[in-house]
A = this chain, B = another copy of it.
């Protein structure tokens, strides 16, 4: 693979621009509509000429997040009767080589802010740019010649942009490697030959009384949960204003103001000239929403799933759509919500069991070769589980070897997964931004360390030790940088002004899943740009502008605008509006099972109420029975 530096081209699709009038949408977090995108384009056209002859491109168009206090006062007003916050769009555009940050206000239909970005880094690559980059390579004569030399078909060659300059500044055809054969790489069932298997049996799911959830616009209501679901071209699926109904208090209580994917950092571990630069910041460079896929009913999401589209602006500002980009479904996994069999009371046997059900909001983003399944799972017990599933195909490199015994180098930086094919070692770091508001905005982060104590010496008591909890409040951002696994501690976000009737601070506790931290050195440029992975958990003071862990401009970034840099300000975070950042990390040494497609590997974390409720919130949930219905005939739709 030759390394290339690519020029940014301007593509313009031809659209008829209708200046249809704009209707105020019902919810401040609703994604921008087709009508709003048209309005934005029309407003900007008044100031900047848009069209084939002009160098103006829309790199990012999204909701300009309204002021949090305005949203909260609207949300807490009876029947949301209070005034809605002003609705605005935030646009990052490139205009004659400059990067502009433009805010368009919908009520005044005007640009209310227009700045030129002067720092490091470039905005997200648009789909057009990514395609342009590829086609530029494929059109580039010396490259075509090198492909011809290898006897390959240029139509089967794929290139993925790595950097973003002005033209092809450099071209190297360094060496010829025996190219892996295609055999064994087919994964389309239509192309595969028998025998098939392992054989699995079909199943039918029916909800006789319909689904348990209701969707009103972008608001989802299910069991005791209510939340808003939205789509952003960089983050993909966004959960907002998630709150849970408390039966004792007879009201909804805030848990998560906003939660979404912030960045995915994928550095590869081959330092050679052809690979050292392969370190992706997937969301910041390519857009985890932009790369999200249309989900297939019954396979990507089970029976009963409801789907939602994703609408966003293309490079020319006209709207594009990914249909079925998100799905919502109830999960009946055969788990047990809670149970107890009481046998100790003489002459009395009690068995009470509640089967578990949860609600999942899912997206899948396919950034190049990998497919990332991102699930936000809500449980009636109050838990929010976030799960990331890794699947798709490996990023591989050609080698002369077909067998480990032939290896001459001291390190091939991966595993031979097929003839002449090495799956290269790499990491996946998936960072989530979780703006928790536990029963209100003023929260604290508690590190409850479990410490061993010596038991008091006693003639009658042989016991020598026990553990107890040592409560430490994180006063500043530095106190809240956590590397998991180093000590026994509970991590809890509490509202110090809200206590249960027994005096315990209401809170939500983080239950981390298995995770892996970075192994690159701190002076290495990929890690400087990916420094937001230096800790598994961070807490920062809420700041409207601190949303993307890799910085607002991740492409070609220098690491001067990352979560790690913001945390260096070491702001006070006790009894403040705070944001949790959690990174799900994987080290991936490929194995042959990962080829040509990889069985899903999953990790994640759980946020679980801890003294948030006065007692088990699902104690009084009524029994559902997941029955069979032998008589009915499935209709495969």
Task: Check if A542 is an interface residue, CB within 8 A of chain B.
Answer: no
A598: chain B residues at CB < 8 Å are: 338, 616
CA distance in complex: A449, B527 (Å):
20
B202 touches A626 (CB 8 A): yes
Q: How far, in Å, is A330 (CB) from chain B's closest CB?
A: 7
Q: Are A629 and B206 in contact (CB under 8 A)?
A: yes
Pick the interface stretch among A112-120, A181-189, A565-573.
A181-189
| Alpha-carbon separation in the docked complex, A212 to B490 (Å) | 42
7 additional contacts, CB 8 Å, given A271-B463, A305-B334, A463-B526?
A202-B627, A203-B304, A299-B353, A299-B623, A335-B389, A593-B608, A630-B635
Among A341, A354, A504, chain B packs the most CB atoms within 10 A around the CB of A341
Give every chain B residue within 8 A of A464 (Cβ-Cβ).
520-521, 523-525
When A334-B302, A589-B490 are in contact, do A504 and B415 touch as well, CB less than 8 Å?
yes
Taking CB atoms, residues of chain B closer than 8 Å to A344 are: 134, 158, 160, 368
A622–B592 CB distance below 8 A: no
The 10 lowest CB-CB distance pairs between A and B, nearest first, are A632-B632, A485-B485, A404-B503, A201-B212, A276-B463, A271-B455, A198-B224, A333-B333, A302-B334, A381-B599
A207 adjacent to chain B (CB < 8 Å): yes
* Cβ–Cβ contact A350 & B188, under 8 A: yes
Chain B residues closer than 8 Å to A527, beta-carbon distance: 465
With A203-B205, A393-B340, A634-B629 given, is the CB distance from A593 to B622 under 8 Å?
no
Q: Which of A258-266, A355-363, A545-553 contacts B (4 or more CB under 8 A)?
A: A355-363
Query: A177 contacts which chain B residues (CB < 8 A)?
Result: none
Tell me if B600 and A338 are in contact (CB < 8 A).
Answer: yes
Q: Is A366 an interface residue (CB 8 A)?
A: yes
Do B632 and A616 have beta carbons less than 8 Å apart? no
For residue A621, which residue of chain B has the nearest CB?
B198
Q: Which of A9-17, A63-71, A78-86, A510-518 touches B?
A: A510-518
Q: Which residues of B contact A524 (CB under 8 A)?
A: 455, 463-465
B206 touching A632 by the CB < 8 A rule? yes
A209 with B200: CB separation less than 8 A: no
Interface membership of chain A positions 207-233, coded 1 if the CB is closer than 8 angstroms to chain B and 0 otherwise: 111111000000000011000000000
